[in-house]
Chains A and B, each alone.
Chain A
Amino acid sequence: MDNIFNWIAENQQMIYIVVLMVFLGIEVIGRVPSVLHTPLMSGANAIHGVVIIGAIIVMGKAEPGNYLALILGFLAVVLGTLNVVGGFVVTDRMLEMFKKKKS
C-alpha cells in the first residue's frame, strides 16, 4: 500500500494532468455535430502523433554502437512522423472541402 501512496505522491503533477485532461477531452468535443466526426477523429489522430517526441528522445539517446536501439528508434521516428504529418495533411484536406461550400 505504501508503495502506491508514494508513487502517487511522487507523480502527483502527472496524475493531476491525466485527470484534468480526461475531463477536458470529454468537455471539448461534447457537442460536435456528426458531420465533423470524421475530421475530428482524423485531427485527434494527428495530435496523438506527439509520440514522435518520445521517438526522437529514444533515437537521440541511442549509443552509436547499439544497433537495435538505432534501427528501432529510426523506425519509430519515421512512423511517428508519418502519423503526425499524414494526420494533419489528411485532416486539412477534408476540412478544405468543408470550407469551399461556404463561399
Chain B
Amino acid sequence: MNNILTLCYLIGSVTFILGLKMLSNPASARKGNGIAAFGMIIAILGTIFLYKDEAGESLHNYGWILAGLLIGTIVGTLAAKKVKMTAMPEMVSLFNGMGGACAALISVVEFDHIYQANKMLGSPWFSDAVPLGHYIAIIAGAIIGSVSFAGSIIAWGKLSGKVNDFSFKGQHIINLVILAVVIAAAVYTYQSDTQVSNIPFFITVALALLYGVFFVLPIGGADMPVVISLLNSFTGVAAACGGFLYNNKVMLTGGILVGAAGTLLTILMCKAMNRSLKNVLIGSFGAKNAATGGEKTGSGGTYKEISLNDAATVMAYANKVIIVPGYGLAVAQAQHTCHELEKLLEEKGVEVKYAIHPVAGRMPGHMNVLLAEADVSYDKLMEMEDANDEFKSTDVVLILGANDVVNPAAKDDPSSPIYGMPILEVEQAKTVIVNKRSMKPGYAGIENELFFRPKTSMLFGDAKAALQKLIAEIKNL
C-alpha cells in the first residue's frame, strides 16, 4: 500500500513543479494552477487513506479529519469566490497566514508529544530523548510558521485599512532583540529540564508571534505586496520543516519550491519598484517621508480644478487619450465605468489606451486583472516603457486614482523616498487631468508635485462617480 502513497507524493511533487512553471507564462497559467491543484488533491487523498506511521498503523480520527477538510473547503471556497477583485491582495495574505498557522500548530502538537513522552519516561533533560535534527525541524516550523501567521494577519489588516502604520525610533533594534531572544529561548528549550521544557517552548512561540507583528508594522502599505510575497516564501519554508519532520517528500518539495520561488519573486517585485529588499524592510520609509512631506507642502503652491464640462470637452475632442489607472480606481470599483468611457470616446473617434505602471495598485498586475474583469481589450494596455514613448503624442492623460507612480519627484528629487523609481512620464502629454478624492498624499505618504504643475488640472471625486458624470457630460455634448 505504501508504494502507492509514494507514487501519490511523486505525482504531487511533479505537478507542483509543472504548475509553478506554467504559472509563469500567461498562456498556460490557468492550466498550471489546475494541475497543481489536482496534484494536491492526489497527495491529500493518498495521505488520508494510505498513510502508515513507523509502527505500520493507519491514521484514525477520520471523522475529525473529514470534518476539518469539509469546513475548510466550504469556508475557503466561499471566501475566495465572494472576495472583491480589489480585496484580492488581502485575501492572499490571509490564506498565507492560515498556512503559517497550520505549520506552527503541527509543531506545537509534535512538541507536546515529545514533552509528554519525556515526562512519562522520566528522562531528566529534554535533549535526551530527541535527536537535534528532529527538534530543529519542530522549532523552526513553530517559529517561521508563527512569524508568517502574525505578519500576514498584520499585512491583511493594513491592506484592508484595519491596522495603521506604526513605527517608533529604534524599532529595528528592538526587532533584532526579539529575534535574538526567540533563538535563545529555542536553544534553551532543547537544553532544559524535561519537567518544565514546555515553558521556554511556549515563550519561543509567543515571541515569534510578537516578532511577526513588529516585523510588518513599520512597513508602509505601499510595500505590502513585497512583504506578503516574502511571508509567502516563509510559509513555504515552514511547510518544508514539516517535510523534514515526517520524512515527507511532497511537503519538502512543495515547501522549498515555494520558499525559493517566493524569495526570487520578492526580489523581482522590489526590482520593479527600483528598490532593494533591504530598503523595503528596514528603509524606514516613514521617517524619511515625514521630512520631505513637510518641505513639499510648504512649497506646494496652488492647483487648479477643472469642471466636468471642460474635462468632457477636452477629452471628446482629443485625438488620443491615455488613461492611467491606480488604486483609486480599484477602491471605487470603477473599472466597468472606465471601460464605458473608453467605448464612448472611441465612438467619437478618439484613440484610447491605458498606461499600466508595474506597481500600480496594491500589487503588480493588480490593474491588469481589474481592467480585464471589465472586458478591456488586452492590446489597449501598455506597459510603462511603451507608454512613456506614447505620451509625447497624447492630448489628454486621465489619471484615475494613481499618485506615486506618476510623481515626478521620483525623477528629479534625490531626497524623495521614491527617488529612482521608474514612473509614467505623463507630463509629456499636452494636458493632464487628475481624478482624486482629495489633495491627500498617496500611499507612500508624499506630496505630488505633478498636481501643482501648470499642465495639470484636478477633477475631484470618487473615481466611479466622477466617471459616470463625465460620461453623461460627453453624451450631452
Q: Which residues of A contact B (CB under 8 A)?
A: 3, 7, 10-11, 14, 17-18, 21-26, 28-62, 64, 68-70, 72-102
Q: Residue of B at shortest CB range from A22?
A: B260
Tell me how far the C-beta of B339 lies from the nearest C-beta in chain A, rounded to whole angstroms: 12
CA distance A45 to B97 in the complex (A): 10
Tell me how far the C-beta of B130 lies from the nearest C-beta in chain A, rounded to whole angstroms: 13
Q: Could you write out 29 A-B pairs with CB less than 8 Å apart? A: A22-B256, A23-B260, A26-B264, A34-B358, A36-B365, A43-B29, A43-B33, A44-B20, A44-B23, A44-B265, A47-B20, A48-B239, A51-B239, A51-B255, A53-B250, A54-B248, A55-B106, A56-B59, A57-B246, A57-B248, A58-B109, A74-B68, A80-B102, A83-B96, A83-B98, A85-B80, A87-B80, A99-B30, A101-B375
Which chain B residues lie closer than 8 Å to A86 at the CB level?
76-77, 79-80, 91, 94-95, 98
Establish whether residues A21 and B256, one from each chain, have CB atoms under 8 Å apart when the complex forms. Answer: yes
Establish whether residues B99 and A28, one from each chain, have CB atoms under 8 Å apart when the complex forms. Answer: no
Q: Residue of A at shortest CB range from B94?
A: A86
CA distance A69 to B60 in the complex (A): 13
- CB within 8 Å for A57 and B59 given contacts A30-B264, A80-B98, A86-B95: yes
Establish whether residues A83 and B99, one from each chain, have CB atoms under 8 Å apart when the complex forms. Answer: yes
Q: Residue of B at shortest CB range from A32?
A: B24
Which chain A residues lie closer than 8 Å to B73 at the CB level?
81, 85
Tell me how far the C-beta of A48 lies from the nearest C-beta in chain B, rounded to whole angstroms: 4
Which chain B residues lie closer than 8 Å to A28 at the CB level?
17, 20-21, 24, 257, 261
Q: Residue of A at shortest CB range from B362?
A: A38
Q: What 0/1 pattern do residues 50 to 86 of B give for CB contact below 8 A with A?
A: 0101000011111011011101110111011101010
Q: Which residues of B contact A (CB under 8 A)?
A: 12, 16-17, 19-21, 23-26, 29-30, 32-34, 36-37, 40, 43-44, 47-48, 51, 53, 58-62, 64-65, 67-69, 71-73, 75-77, 79-81, 83, 85, 88-89, 91-92, 94-96, 98-99, 101-103, 105-106, 108-110, 112-113, 132-133, 225, 228-229, 232-233, 235-236, 238-240, 242-265, 268-269, 272, 358, 363-366, 368-369, 372-373, 375-378
Interface centre among A39, A54, A82, A100 (most CB of B within 10 A): A54
CA distance A101 to B235 in the complex (A): 33
Tally of A-B Cβ pairs under 8 angstroms: 379
A60-B62, A80-B98, A81-B71 given. 13 additional CB < 8 A pairs? Answer: A22-B259, A29-B21, A35-B368, A39-B365, A41-B92, A41-B363, A43-B20, A50-B250, A51-B251, A53-B44, A54-B251, A84-B76, A97-B85
Tell me how far the C-beta of B109 lies from the nearest C-beta in chain A, rounded to whole angstroms: 5
Which chain B residues lie closer than 8 Å to A60 at the CB level?
48, 51, 58-62, 65
Establish whether residues B365 and A59, one from each chain, have CB atoms under 8 Å apart when the complex forms. Answer: no
Establish whether residues A79 and B105, one from each chain, have CB atoms under 8 Å apart when the complex forms. Answer: yes
CA distance A90 to B93 in the complex (A): 11
Which chain B residues lie closer than 8 Å to A64 at the CB level?
60-61
- CB within 8 Å for A59 and B375 given contacts A35-B364, A47-B19: no
Establish whether residues B252 and A17, one from each chain, have CB atoms under 8 Å apart when the complex forms. Answer: yes
Which chain A residues lie closer than 8 Å to B24 at the CB level?
28-29, 31-32, 36, 40
- CB within 8 Å for A78 and B68 given contacts A55-B106, A61-B53, A101-B377: yes
Tell me how far the C-beta of A100 lies from the nearest C-beta in chain B, rounded to whole angstroms: 6
List the 5 closest pairs (A to B, CB-CB), nearest first.
Answer: A81-B72, A60-B59, A25-B260, A77-B68, A85-B76
